[in-house]
Every structure is written in C-alpha cells, then in structure tokens.
Amino acid sequence: MARKYKFYPIRTIKDWDGEDWDIFEEYQNQVGIPLYKGRIYGEVFGRYILILTVELADYIKNNSDLKRTELAKKLNVSTDMINRLRQKLGIQRKMHIPDYEWVYAHQDELFTESFETLFEKYGLTKKQVKGYVVHLRKCKGIIRTHRRRALQTVIEREKMFLQHKDEIMHCNTIVELAEQFNVHISIARDIHLRLCAENQLPITGIQHKQRRNEKNQWLLDNQDLLLNSEQMDKQLAVQLNMTLPQLNKAKAYVRKELGIIVETKLPDYDWVKQHQFELENLERKQLQELFQMTKGQVDYRRNLLKKLKQKETQSVAQIQNKIDSNEHYFVE
C-alpha cells in the first residue's frame, strides 16, 4: 500500500551514495524491500524520483544475473527504471558471445534437432538456436539441405515406430497400420515405405502380390488333390486348413487356369426322393453327420424336396381339373 504526502515529506533518508533525500511516497513489493520516491533534500520543485537506497542497491547487485523483466516484476517497477538503476550502479549485463566455431561444427544439429533436444544437450534456448540458424543462413550463406526440424511429438512417434519396426515392414495393409498406431494414413504409408527401403524389403503391395502368386502356384501344384480327391469337401477343407468357401474358390481358380469347364449340375431329385423320409424327420445336425454335408447342402436338398412336392401337388390338381372338365363335357 502506497503512502503519499503531497506537501510535507514523510522523513529524510540517505541513498546508496550517502546523499540525503526527502521521502514523499512509500511503496511495498513482493521481495519485501520498501521503495521510496522523493526529491533531494531541500529541493521544493520537481517530480518525485525513485530513491536508490542501500538496501535496493544491494538487491540489484546480488541479482545481476536476472533478466530485466524478471527483476522489474519482483521490484514492481518498469524495465526502463531497472536500466537506469543498473547504470547508476555500474552493472552491465553479461553479454553472451557466441562460439561460432562450435556453431559451424554443430550446424546439422542446429538445423534439424528439436528445440527440446538442443536444450537438454547444450542448454540452448529457442531464441539462441534461431539466432544461430539465422547467422548460418544469412552471414555464411549455408542453405538448409536437411529435413525440417523435428518436433518433440515427431521424435516420440519415431521412437515408437522403431520399436515396432518388424510389424511395420510386414504389415497386412497401410490402413491397418494407421489404425494400429493411431496416425494418419499418409504417415503410416511414409514410415512403411521408408523402413522397407532402408532394409531393402518389398512394400506391402508387392508382398501381397508375392504371397498371392505363391498361393496360386501351390494350388496349381496340388490340382490333383483339389479336383480328384475322393474325400468329401468338408474333410478336404479340414486337411488343407481351409473353410468350405475357400476350398470352392480354390477349385474354381484351378479349373479356370486349366481351362476346365464344369457342366451345370441338375438338381438331384432322385437322391431327394430316395431320402425323403430322413429330410422330413431328422434334425439338420443329424442330416449333416449322417450324409457328411454342410448346413447349406442340407438346406438346399430340403428346398428341392419342397419344390418337388409342390410340383407333384400342382400336377395332381391339373389332372383333377382336366378330369372334372371332361366329366362336365360328357354330362352335357
């Protein structure tokens, strides 16, 4: 809280140089050093000036390493006032003279490393790093030929990628890779391409093509097993570690490559008639086990039986209608 007296001084004190001053205003600050404003003892006119007391001078001397802004904030004065007080005390701010030989020797790091890394390694502030870069580019004509400066998030992400290098190089798809590491698909593609190039491995598209070619060649090499096996499809699928749809697809591919045309198979009505009782009275699972069929094959034969019975019913109805119409003709 400031104390002000417009016409009469509060008291008289000596400044750091032993000169007497009349105090007219008194202030407090966060460091606990009282600040006084006044005029030289005996003067009647003139504005009030901050008095450089012994206590204030000692504090400024002991904290000469602080920045102007920090010191001004602690004392609750302006930065211009700090400059004037320092000038009175003969305190010059320590100038930082750059070691340009060191700068030239570390120019690659100064251009590319993150500000956080440079601070941890060399204690350089962001402002100092930018100043060195400006010096290298403008004063020495060094052109930036390196990649852009890495941000801390990019560095952390790069570490994560290197820890999962094998997964990235042998990923199934770029989309799955982006979802796995929660990054944009372009980032996932770039890191996959870079790691594959560094390790001289084919990219995922070429890997897929190679695996597909190897699989197709295996199917052709085992065409006799696929097309001429006496096993049921279900048993063959288990042997080849395939699902039934995969087995059917594999057979279709082999037939297509060999130019084998498969005639359209007519509905097996004879078999359905022969096993009508079982189809109508047994559970689906029982039919699957009894005839070694899939669920779809059982349903297909049950539908055939249903259609067959509908046709028989329609045929009987048509015959009956014809008989009725003939009887009506003869009656007339």
The pairing of strands 35-40 and 49-50 is: antiparallel
Highest mean pLDDT among 64-73, 94-103, 283-292: 283-292
SS in 3 state form for 70-83? Answer: HHHHHHCCCHHHHH
Residue 323 pLDDT > 70, yes or no? Answer: no
Residue 171 pLDDT > 80, yes or no? Answer: no
Does 302 or 152 have the greater pLDDT score? 302
Rounded Cα gap, residues 233 and 169, in angstroms: 37
| Structure-token pair, residue 84 | 């004037």
Q: Per-residue pLDDT averaged across 311-325, rounded?
A: 69
Please tell me the number of Cα atoms within 13 Å of 39 on its side-chain side. Answer: 13
Q: Identify the pLDDT of residue 42.
A: 79
43-56 confidence digits (pLDDT tens): 877 788 888 888 88
> What pLDDT band is residue 324 in, cutting at 50, 70 and 90?
low
Rounded Cα gap, residues 146 and 168, in angstroms: 25
Residue 150 pLDDT > 60, yes or no? Answer: no
Classify 36 as helix, strand or coil: strand
Q: What is the DSSP string of 121-166?
A: HH---HHHHHHHHHIIIIIS-----SPPPPPHHHHHHHHHHHHTHH
Question: Count of CB atoms within 10 A of residue 116's CB?
Answer: 13
212-266 confidence digits (pLDDT tens): 888 888 888 888 887 787 788 888 888 888 888 888 888 888 888 888 776 556 6
Q: Per-residue pLDDT averaged across 89-107, rounded?
A: 74
Q: Per-residue pLDDT averaged across 194-203, rounded?
A: 79
Residue 332 pLDDT > 70, yes or no? Answer: no
Residue given tokens 């944009």 in the structure block: 184
> What pLDDT band is residue 322 in, cutting at 50, 70 and 90?
low
* DSSP conformation class of 66: S
Mean of all residue pLDDT scores within the chain: 79
User: How far from 240 is each of 5, 231, 253, 297, 302, CA to CA, in Å?
Assistant: 103, 12, 16, 20, 29
Q: Identify the pLDDT of residue 330.
A: 44
Q: Identify the pLDDT of residue 6.
A: 60
Q: Identify the pLDDT of residue 7.
A: 65
Residue 126 pLDDT > 50, yes or no? Answer: yes
**What b-and-e string marks burial along 39-70, b requiring 16 or more CB atoms within 10 Å of the CB?**
beeeeeeeeeebbbbeebbebbeeeeeeeeee
> What pLDDT band is residue 329 in, cutting at 50, 70 and 90?
very low
User: How far from 24 is each of 7, 11, 31, 36, CA to CA, in Å?
Assistant: 8, 8, 21, 8
Angle between helices 68-75 and 54-62 (to 10 degrees): 150
For residues 191 and 153, is the Cβ–Cβ distance under 8 A?
no
Q: Identify the pLDDT of residue 237.
A: 83
Highest mean pLDDT among 162-171, 189-198, 294-303: 294-303
Q: Identify the pLDDT of residue 17.
A: 84
CA dihedral 97, 100, 102, 107 (to 10 degrees): 130
Q: Identify the pLDDT of residue 316.
A: 63
Q: Identify the pLDDT of residue 331.
A: 47
Residue 71 pLDDT > 70, yes or no? Answer: yes
Q: Which alpha helices (H) appear in 137-243, and where do they start and end?
A: 152-163, 165-169, 174-181, 185-198, 204-221, 223-228, 233-239
Q: Identify the pLDDT of residue 294.
A: 83
Q: Identify the pLDDT of residue 267.
A: 66
